[in-house]
Amino acid sequence: MSKVFIILQANEETRSIVDAIEQDNPDAEVVHEPAMVKVQAEGHLVVRRETIEEEIGREFDMQELNINLITLSGNVDEDEDALTLTWNS
Amino acid sequence: MAVVAIGEYKFPSRDRVENYYGHQLLFASWDHHLLMAAPFMLFGAPDQKLGDIIEQQLKPLMQPDPDFDKIDWDAIEWTKSGELWTPDFNKTVKENGLVHKEQFRFKTPGLSTLVPPQGE
Amino acid sequence: MDIKKTPKKLNVKEKYRLMTRDLAWEPSYRDEKEIYPYVDYEGIKVHDWSKWEDPFRLTMDAYWKYQAEKERKYYAIIDAHAQNNGHLNVTDARYLTAIKLFLQGISPGEYSAHRGFARVGREFAGVGPQVACQMQSIDEIRHAQTQVHAMSNYNKFYNGFKDFATQRDRIWYTSVPRSFFDDAMSAGPFEFLIAIGFSFEYVLTNLLFVPFMSGAAYNGDMATCTFGFSAQSDEARHMTLGLECIKFMLEQDPDNIPIVQKWIDKWFWRGCRLLTLVAAMMDYMLPKRVMSWREAWNIYGVENGNALFRDLARYGIRPPMHWDDVEKSIDHTSHQIMLGLYQWKFGTAFHSWTPTDSDIEWLKEKYPTTFEKYYLPRWEYAIAQKEAGGEYNNFGLPKLCQTCQLPCLFTEPDDPTQLAHRETEYEGEKYHFCSDGCQHVFEQEPEKYIQAWLPMPALMQAPLKGDLAAWMEWVSLEPTAAGEYANSEDKANFEKWRKQVSTD
């Protein structure tokens, strides 16, 4: 199995987003590095809008992720409710 | 293999000998001596004595290496294009068979002050 | 009574369809071939352009909105940086070498990528890739501009920044990234996309940006960190485009597979050679380091690369040729490059230095099998020269590789005591390479690489004819910008200004 990951800038907004990702992916590992935070998991990771909205306390558009995104790994699929990352192997 | 192109694709080489006004490039490399990080580019005319190029250009560049003063110039093994080669320093570059952009290499067995022999 | 319903917002998929694919039309009075003349000649077969879909489903309206937000965040920090003597917050002025090299070598590459994507966006016959390439083209010019802008703050105080554009064209080491982008830009549209979109962005860009920008933050350089992350937020989209484009080509026709594989082999190798400069930046130029080049390679090269190529195996794609040679070189290249830059420092528009005691300890720890044995003796030699009041320089002009244009300073993959020598003959002329990988690239397209402008041979041609003083002027290199850091104006000024700030 291969690891997928998403790396976000470390800031106030992404604190809530990372909390939300952790809730939705109990097996994910969170790694803090200078100015950035990496969330990785085996094979599959999902980022859900509803969980983020719950954490951040306002409406959230999945495409807002663009602003704080540093990089990611895996095949991407995004719609208005979720962003998923997967490797097919 | 060839370039895949939208039409005829034919251009002269950028560093062809004609661009050096009667001169040519040579490269020289001292095996297992890496203080000077890459082979040296030398420059001369085909009718210039090879010995002059070695004395005037190559040796001053090699001098910083602590092994330089220990070299036995008669014991050097010379190669060019992978073949053993015996240079004649009194003959010209051309007479020594050194064409444009030719590289010659030389080995000084037993000298390894700054680069340890592999496997030790 | 009628209840007024608010019209439902379009979902992302519908919006993407309406604002991307539905903007296209079938030509009625001109032939497709006339409109898209360059889409066939590389041999890539496309049967259905509509199968191309951006996984982020980003449309131009949303694109502008989010890019504007990124710019606002970026300029807030750049202004604060300029207003608060941000340049004195970096760890020490050695760090400036890393960003000078970035400005001379990488930022012009962003501009080349801008031009390249503008071109291929026009040349592709499908609206999906047209829109994606348009966005990427605009991103890339934004990167070039924000990088130049961020570093202009340093240009007010330090040497080596002011003439990066001339140096991009003329000084010797910048020909490495320049030839990389020129090679891609002079290829067909599909090869360009594999070169920049896939091999560079997807496989290698993380190695360039992520640890480096994290390093900028760690070294107190908020300006660079900010443009880096701001640019990198676009890279995630570029990487995704790169991966989509390769999957699209592979799914369209099985005949595309060997062509794509050949490009992956070529561009992976070319990218790895380019990144050896980044390896030196990471291991030697950051006064405080986040991770070693080896560690970055393990995460972003090996782990991520393996995941990617396991995923692509279902199409019949194998990992890039010469991958093993890259792996073998990782514990060596940063040392080999930095020793080279140090000995040729009289000809670089940035400073270099010998590693300090703590640098040496760190390098020993990170490279336990190679640094102390193979590279420390050479550094100790240079340190001893300095302590004796001298300075080690190599005034020899190096032999350059015909393909990657780096000096031929890399060793044999299995023997770090011996330089790799590779040569071939083409139409009666000799050509030299640093490695099997570069020789292989040359031999696929010799007609292309024989035209390479190699700075060292060029120096001996007219009009310079080997005149080094004339060369310095031609490349706009002032002596204050070059040489050993310990004796530099940059070091003296930084220390003086920092003292003034801290005693005020």
Q: Which pLDDT tens digit goes with each residue over B68-106? A: 999 999 999 999 998 999 999 999 999 999 999 999 999
**pLDDT range class, residue C489, cuts 50, 70, 90:** very high
C206 in a structural domain: yes
Q: What is the chain B residue with the closest CA to C456?
A: B41
- CA atoms of C325 and C276, how far apart (whole Å): 13
C202 in a structural domain: yes
* Alpha-carbon gap: B74 to the closest alpha carbon of chain C (Å): 22
Pairing mode of beta strands C415-419, B77-80: unpaired
- Give me the DSSP letters along C101-146: HHHHHTHHHHHHHHHHHHHHHHH-SSHHHHHHHHHHHHHHHHHHHH
Take residue C173 and report the two structure tokens written for it: 């080491």
Q: What is the pLDDT of residue C504?
A: 56
C384 in a structural domain: no
Question: Does residue C210 or residue C495 have the better pLDDT?
Answer: C495
At C288-338, the pLDDT tens digits run: 888 999 999 998 889 888 999 999 999 999 999 999 999 999 999 999 999
Q: What is the chain C residue with the closest CA to B6?
A: C41
Residue B24 scores a pLDDT above 90: yes
Residues 6+ apart with CB under 8 A from A32: A10, A38
Nearest to C311 among A66, A70, A89 (CB): A89
Q: What is the pLDDT of residue C216?
A: 84
**pLDDT range class, residue C388, cuts 50, 70, 90:** very high
- CA atoms of C192 and C437, how far apart (whole Å): 19
Nearest to B11 among C38, C42, C447 (CB): C447
Q: What is the pLDDT of residue C40?
A: 95
C156 in a structural domain: yes
Asked if the Cβ–Cβ distance from A66 to C237 is below 8 Å, we say: yes
Q: What is the pLDDT of residue C7?
A: 62
pTM: 0.94
Top residue of C191, C344, C430, C441 to mutate, by most chain B CBs within 10 Å, is C430
The identity of residue B112, as a single letter, is S
Strands (E), A1-89: 3-9, 29-33, 36-42, 44-48, 69-73, 75-78, 82-86
* Domain extent at residue C259: 35-353+392-503
**pLDDT range class, residue A35, cuts 50, 70, 90:** confident
In the CATH scheme, what is the code of domain B17-107?
A: 3.10.20.560
Strands (E), C235-298: none
Domains of chain A, start order: 3-86 (3.90.56.10)
Q: What is the pLDDT of residue A40?
A: 95
Do residues C66 and C22 touch, judged by C-beta distance below 8 A? no
Q: What is the pLDDT of residue C226?
A: 78
The whole-number average pLDDT for the span C408-432 is 98
What letter would DSSP give residue C43? -
Domain map (residue ranges) of chain B = 17-107
At C193-232, the pLDDT tens digits run: 999 988 888 877 888 778 777 788 888 887 787 778 788 8
Point out the least confidently predicted range of C98-112, C159-173, C207-221, C451-465.
C207-221
Q: What is the pLDDT of residue B87?
A: 96
Asked if the Cβ–Cβ distance from C55 to A78 is below 8 Å, we say: yes
Do residues C85 and C501 touch, judged by C-beta distance below 8 A? yes
Whether cis (ω within 30° of 0) applies to the bond prior to C319 is no
Point out the least confidently predicted range of C9-13, C260-264, C393-397.
C9-13
- Give me the DSSP letters along B44-80: E-TTSBHHHHIIIIIHHHHTTSTTGGG--TTS-EEEE
The whole-number average pLDDT for the span A13-29 is 96
Asked if the Cβ–Cβ distance from C233 to A66 is below 8 Å, we say: yes
Q: What is the pLDDT of residue C3?
A: 62
Do residues A53 and A16 touch, judged by C-beta distance below 8 A? no
Q: What is the chain B residue with the closest CA to C441?
A: B1
Nearest to C43 among B4, B38, B100 (CB): B4
Q: Among residues C388, C419, C378, C421, which one has the least CA distance to residue C402?
A: C421
What letter would DSSP give residue C193? I
The whole-number average pLDDT for the span A8-18 is 93
- CA atoms of C168 and C151, how far apart (whole Å): 15
Take residue C376 and report the two structure tokens written for it: 């420390």
Do residues C273 and C333 touch, judged by C-beta distance below 8 A? no
Sheet harboring A29-33: ordered strands across? Answer: A29-33, A36-42, A3-9, A69-73
Pairing mode of beta strands B102-107, B24-30: parallel
At B25-77, the pLDDT tens digits run: 999 999 999 999 999 999 999 999 999 999 999 999 999 999 999 999 999 99
C442 in a structural domain: yes
Residues 6+ apart with CB under 8 A from C69: A67
- Could you give the angle at which helices C256-274 and C175-185 cross, rounded to 10 degrees? 160
Q: How many domains would you assign to chain C? A: 1
Mean of all residue pLDDT scores within chain C: 93
CATH number at residue C498: 1.10.620.20
Predicted-assembly ipTM surpassing the 0.90 threshold: yes
* Alpha-carbon gap: B47 to the closest alpha carbon of chain C (Å): 18
Asked if the Cβ–Cβ distance from A89 to C307 is below 8 Å, we say: yes
Asked if the Cβ–Cβ distance from C56 to A66 is below 8 Å, we say: yes
Contacts of C395 in chain B (CB under 8 A): 61
C6 in a structural domain: no
The whole-number average pLDDT for the span C411-440 is 98
